[in-house]
Amino acid sequence: MQDWLKMSAGDLGRAIGAGKIDPVDLTCAYLDAIDVHPARDRIYARVTHDRALSEAEAARSRAKAEQRLSLVDGVPISWKDLFDTAGIVTESGSALLKGRTPDEDALVLRNATAMGSVCLGKTHMSELAFSGLGLNPITATPPCINDDQAAPGGSSSGAGASVAFDLAVCGIGSDTGGSVRIPAAWNDLVGLKTTSGRISLDGVVPLCPEFDTVGPLTRTVEDAALMLAMLEGDQPVDLRGTTLRGRRLGVLQTSALEDVRPEPLGAFEAAIKRLEAAGAIIEPIEVPELEEAMTLNAVLYTAEAYGVWRDVIEANPQAMYEPILERFRAGAGFSGPDYVSAWTRLRAVRRVWERTCAGYDAILCPTAPNLPPNVKRLNEDREYYVTENLLTLRNTRIGNLMGLCSLTLPTGVPSCGLSLMGTPNGEEALLRLGAAAERALA
pLDDT for the residue numbered 206 = 98
| pLDDT(204) > 70 | yes
b/e per residue 313-351 (b: at least 16 CB within 10 A):
beeeeebbbebbbebbbbbeebeeeebeebeebbeebbe
**348 and 203 both lie in a single domain:** no
Convert the pLDDT of each residue in 313-363 to its tens digit: 999 999 999 999 999 999 999 999 999 999 999 999 999 999 999 999 999
Residue closest to 286 by CA, chosen among 257, 261, 259: 257
Residue 111's domain is classified under what CATH number? 3.90.1300.10
**357 and 226 both lie in a single domain:** no
DSSP-based helix, strand, coil % in the chain, nearest 5:
45, 15, 40
Report DSSP state, residue 373.
P
- Catalytic residues, by residue number, are 80, 155, 179
| pLDDT(62) > 80 | yes
Cα separation, 105 vs 110, in Å, equals 6
Sort 428 into a burial class: Cβ within 10 Å, 0-12 / 13-18 / 19+.
middle
pLDDT for the residue numbered 423 = 98
Cα separation, 156 vs 174, in Å, equals 7
What's at 361, amino acid-wise?
D
Convert the pLDDT of each residue in 243-270 to its tens digit: 999 999 999 999 999 999 999 999 999 9
Residue 313 within any structural domain of the chain: no
The mean pLDDT of 139-163, rounded to a whole number, is 98
Query: Biggest alpha carbon distance in the chain?
Result: 61
Outline where DSSP puts E strands in 82-167. Answer: 118-123
Bond from prior residue into 70 cis (ω within 30 degrees of 0) = no
Cα separation, 52 vs 31, in Å, equals 9
Instruction: Tell me the β-bridge partners of 252.
Output: 285
Distance of CA 166 to the CA centre of its chain: 17
Cα separation, 276 vs 239, in Å, equals 20
Residue 374 within any structural domain of the chain: yes
Cα separation, 184 vs 415, in Å, equals 8
Cα separation, 147 vs 130, in Å, equals 22
φ, ψ dihedrals at 264, nearest 5° = -60, -35
Residue 335, domain extent: 248-295+322-441
pLDDT-derived band at 2 (thresholds 50, 70, 90) equals low
Residue 288 within any structural domain of the chain: yes
**26 and 63 both lie in a single domain:** yes
**Looking at the 3D structure of the chain, how many domains does it have?**
2
**346 and 420 both lie in a single domain:** yes
Residue closest to 438 by CA, chosen among 411, 413, 406, 415: 411
pLDDT-derived band at 31 (thresholds 50, 70, 90) equals very high
pLDDT for the residue numbered 28 = 98
* Beta carbons of 21 and 7 less than 8 angstroms apart: no
| pLDDT(381) > 80 | yes
| pLDDT(180) > 80 | yes
Pseudo-torsion of CA 231, 210, 160, 367, nearest 10°? 120
Convert the pLDDT of each residue in 283-320 to its tens digit: 999 999 999 999 999 999 999 999 999 999 999 999 99
Beta-carbon contacts of 131 under 8 Å, excluding residues fewer than 6 positions away, are: 154, 155, 323, 324, 327, 389
**189 and 271 both lie in a single domain:** no
Q: Which of 232, 260, 277 is the last residue of a domain?
A: 232
φ, ψ dihedrals at 273, nearest 5° = -65, -40
Q: At what angle do helices 221-232 and 107-114 cross, to 10 degrees?
A: 110
44, 90, 249, 303, 331 from 195: Cα distances, Å: 27, 24, 20, 21, 24
Cα separation, 169 vs 74, in Å, equals 11
Convert the pLDDT of each residue in 383-401 to its tens digit: 999 999 999 999 999 999 9
Q: What is the mean pLDDT of the chain?
A: 98
Residue 70 within any structural domain of the chain: yes
**145 and 196 both lie in a single domain:** yes
pTM comes to 0.98
What's at 180, amino acid-wise?
V
The mean pLDDT of 215-238, rounded to a whole number, is 98
pLDDT-derived band at 1 (thresholds 50, 70, 90) equals low
Give me the helices (H) in 278-335, please. 290-295, 297-315, 322-329
The mean pLDDT of 231-247, rounded to a whole number, is 97
pLDDT-derived band at 224 (thresholds 50, 70, 90) equals very high
| pLDDT(118) > 80 | yes
Residue 265 within any structural domain of the chain: yes
**253 and 345 both lie in a single domain:** yes
